[in-house]
Amino acid sequence: MANKNIWDPNASKEESVPEDSNKPPREMLIVLYNLLVLAFYTVMCAIIRRGGVVIDAFLIGIHFLACLILTMINGKWVWILSGFLVLLIGLSTCTGILWKLM
């Protein structure tokens, strides 16, 4: 399907639909994997009673910096999106765990 116009009324529906339309874009898989890693170490740190919140905040910071570095290396903006999502969701969860312990 090289350079076919999807807005062409003469084109059939079968030709205008991409082959792998059910698969998420590769960029969104990067975000998914980052959030899965975040969920894993956040749950592990929530299980630890003493110092778990501090370890979780430290890991979130490292994860965010890794995403920033990968943005510079790969030049893909999806890494910076992942980094900010990790920071936002991670610190919110970290605050929730800290609030629960108080």
Residues 46-67 have pLDDT tens digits of: 787 777 888 889 999 999 999 9
Q: In which band, very low, low, confident or very high, does the pLDDT at 22 lie, cut at 50, 70 and 90?
A: confident
Q: Which residue has the higher pLDDT, 53 or 10?
A: 53
Assess contact for 75 and 68: CB atoms under 8 A.
no
Q: Which two tokens stand for residue 99?
A: 């609030």
Per-residue pLDDT, 5 = 55
CA distance 12 to 100: 57
CA distance 8 to 84: 39
DSSP-assigned letters across all residues of 8-67: -TTS-HHHHS-TTTTSPPHHHHHHHHHHHHHHHHHHHHHH--SSHHHHHHHHHHHHHHHH
Per-residue pLDDT, 19 = 57
Per-residue pLDDT, 76 = 87
